[in-house]
Amino acid sequence: MLPQPERQPPNKVKIFVSVKTKAKGEKIEPIEPGRFRVSVNVPPEGGKANRQVIRVVAKYFKVPASRVQILSGTTSKTKLLEIQ
């Protein structure tokens, strides 16, 4: 039997992001459905890059930053985010 996909309330979306830190500018690019590449211009120290990733993703999806959270990968370049 195949595993069932995780059920999500209709107003939540999970995406994977690959992060590039210390980039020249900030941008987000779709790679494939549900996967994005995010560039931020801050170093990965003290959670600065994670906070900036949340801001960039929130702006792209036109939601407040408080509605974006990192579910896994806080210390990795690949992260799983949930957007409400």
What is the CATH T-level fold of the domain 13-83, as seen in this structure?
Conserved Hypothetical Protein Mth637; Chain: A; (3.30.1200)
Q: State residue 47 phi and psi, 5-degree precision.
A: 80, 5
Residue holding tokens 């995780």? 6
Please state the pTM of the whole predicted model: 0.84
CA distances from 42 to 4, 15, 24, 46, 84 (A): 38, 22, 9, 11, 25
Distance (Å, whole) CA 30 – CA 37: 6
Q: Band the pLDDT of 3: cuts 50, 70, 90.
A: low
The distance between the two most distant Cα atoms of the chain, rounded to a whole number of Å, is 47
Token representation of residue 26: 């900030």
Residue range 16-42: mean pLDDT, rounded = 95
Residue range 34-47: mean pLDDT, rounded = 95
What percent of the chain lies above the pLDDT cut of 70? 88
